[in-house]
Every structure is written in structure tokens, then in C-alpha cells.
Amino acid sequence: MLQITHHGSIELPRQYLQELAASESSFTSQAKDLLIKLQPKNEALSSLWNVWLENQNEDALVQAAELGLTAAKLSLGLRLAQFQGDKENKSNASLKKAAHWLELAAKDGDRDAWYALGEIYRRPQFSGYSATESDRCFDRAADLGHPQAQLRKGANLWRKREKSEEKVRGLQASYWVWQAHQQGVPEAKELLSKILVSCPDPKGNEWHQLAQCAEQAISRHAEHKLDEDWLLLCHRIIIANQFNFSKAELLLSEVGQLQHEHCVVVDIRWELPKILPRLIQIETIQQRRALLAAGKAFAGTDAEIEGNLRQRRYRFDQVTEWLSATFSKNLKRQADIEPA
């Protein structure tokens, strides 16, 4: 472990961490975290910060910022950037000073500082006005987990989706809006509903009864000695019910590529080019369990085992007929026994 015994001995590793933090590498986030942990914590700095918090003494705030406290840099930058009355009255000089301190806090990895910088670069009275730089700052804030920045980034990607080179348009946008929604941003819910299909209740879906039969077949597959292609189709039926697939989506979706962190991507253009992809939100534990079980079943299987679309249709008719004949009566008996 590195022993820091002298003030001078910390400068070289700190400089190295600052270079890492400014880079775009896999170590950037860790370097930023370490820089924040290496912030000076001596008594004088703590005292200055407490004076600011208790008395709003601006001299103490400035001194704490100059001594390198990230929270002080952020607070000073935000204070200098505040609008007073008509927002056009805030001088360019004050905004430049605000940007200076916010940039220092942002270099320490502070997400609020990145977001505030994004706001400043959008202000017309700021001499450094740049929509591009503003978007870059908002994106960095989003990457660091700022909820409003995540919503902004998602909304921006959604507006520009037609110009996007994404394989499935809207996927990136939906991810960032979903992240904001997870953090409780109210506006995210409405936008998310425009991007992702929601179907949290499988009981109302077309495949519900057949999926119940398929679940029984899987749980008793050793007893019935199901062939592998039949077993895979049972998993397809369960997935189709959880996410309300069409029959074509049920037969053709690439199960191993369906799941993303927040949604499933149903893209069957490899066989039916005119059918547009769909993004469906993952909302329940049952949906995740169905995806996990199907993923395990399909992992390592021969891609040719399911055959072409004609063969899949023929097998579907065989399997559904067998499932209904074998398990429907059991399901009816269970329904009769269960209390209403």
C-alpha cells in the first residue's frame, strides 16, 4: 500500500490521478473517486467550510475553494452563476468566474458541477456560449449519474433518433430516460412511455393459457422426454406471453439478444425486413426470470436446431396442440380449486 508521509510526496500521484481523470479510459471513474478522497481534510479547511455553512461567510467559502475543497468550488461557482431578477442581467464577468470554479469542481468528478456548466454554456450572455459544449457537459453529468442530465441526454437522443446510426433507433434514448425515471424524475415517466411499450400484466395477453401449459411442460420435461427444439419453443411461448409478442416475434426473435438492462429489443428484420423493431420495458420480476431461464436454455445451442420459418411454424402447431391436450385439463382443475 502507498504510504503518504509528506505533503510533497502526494503531488506526483495526485498529478497522475488528475491526468487519468481527464482521460477517457476505463480508469477515469476510479481516478475521480480517488481524487475526491484525497481532498485536504485539515482542521483549517474544515473550519472554513463550517463558517460558510453556518454564517454564509463568502470569504470563508472563497478560501475553502482556493484550498481545493470540491464542495466549496461547486458552491462558489453556483453562487456566482445565480440569476438575479431578469436572467439577462447576470454579467459575462460573473459567469466567467462561475465557469472557472465549476470547471475545477467538474475536474474533481462532481456531477452537479458538470450540469451547472452545461447551463452556463447555454446562456446567451456568456461569451463562451456553445450549444455543443453545453451538451458535452450535460453528457458528462449524465455519465456521472445526474438525474436531470440523464433525462436531458435521453430526450436529446430521442429528438435526434431519425439521424441516428443506431441499429435499433431509440435504444440509447430509452436507456438514459429510464435511468432518470429510476431516480425519480417525474417528467421521465411520460417520455419513457413514448419510447418503450409497457405490458406488465401477462394475464391479459394472447399467449397466457398456452404459457401456463409451457411452464408445466418445462418443469416436467424429464418425465415427458421433450426434445430440445420443443423445450426451446416452450421458452419462446413464455417469453412471448410476458412481453405480448406477435406470433412472428414469438417464432423469430433472437432470444439470446433480447435482454438489455432496462428493456427487451424485439428485432426480426433478419427474416421479415418490413417489421420494425420494438422496445418493451422490463417491469416485473417474472419478466426477468423468464428471460434468465430462456437465456440459459438457449445458451450454447446449435443455431440450426430451430430451422427456418416454415419449420418453426410447423413445430409451433405440433407443440401447441400437445401442450393444450396434455396440460389444459390440469390448469382447469387448478382454477376450479383455487378460491376466487
Q: Is residue 84 part of a domain?
A: no
Q: Which residues contact 48 (CB under 8 A, 6 or more apart)?
A: 60, 61, 63, 64, 67, 69, 72
What's this model's pTM, rounded to 2 decimal places?
Answer: 0.78
- Domain boundary, last residue among 146, 178, 195: 195
Q: Where are the alpha helices (DSSP H) in 204-282?
A: 208-219, 221-224, 228-243, 247-252
Q: Which residues pair with 279 in a beta bridge?
A: 265
> Count of domains in the chain?
2
Domain that holds residue 300: 202-337
pLDDT in tens, the chain (340 residues): 344 444 445 566 777 777 777 777 777 777 766 765 565 567 778 888 888 999 998 998 999 999 889 999 999 999 999 854 445 556 888 999 999 999 999 999 999 999 999 999 999 999 999 999 999 999 999 999 999 999 999 999 999 999 989 999 999 999 999 999 999 999 999 999 999 999 999 998 999 999 999 999 999 888 888 999 999 999 999 999 999 999 999 999 999 999 999 999 999 999 999 999 999 999 999 999 999 999 999 998 888 999 999 999 999 999 999 999 999 776 655 544 454 4
Same domain as 184, residue 210: no
Residues 6+ apart with CB under 8 A from 98: 77, 78, 79, 80, 81, 116, 120
Out of 155, 179, 195, a domain closes at 195
Residue 211 lies in a domain: yes
Q: Could you tell me whether strands 278-281 and 263-266 are parallel, antiparallel, or unpaired per DSSP bridges?
A: antiparallel
184 and 209 share one domain: no
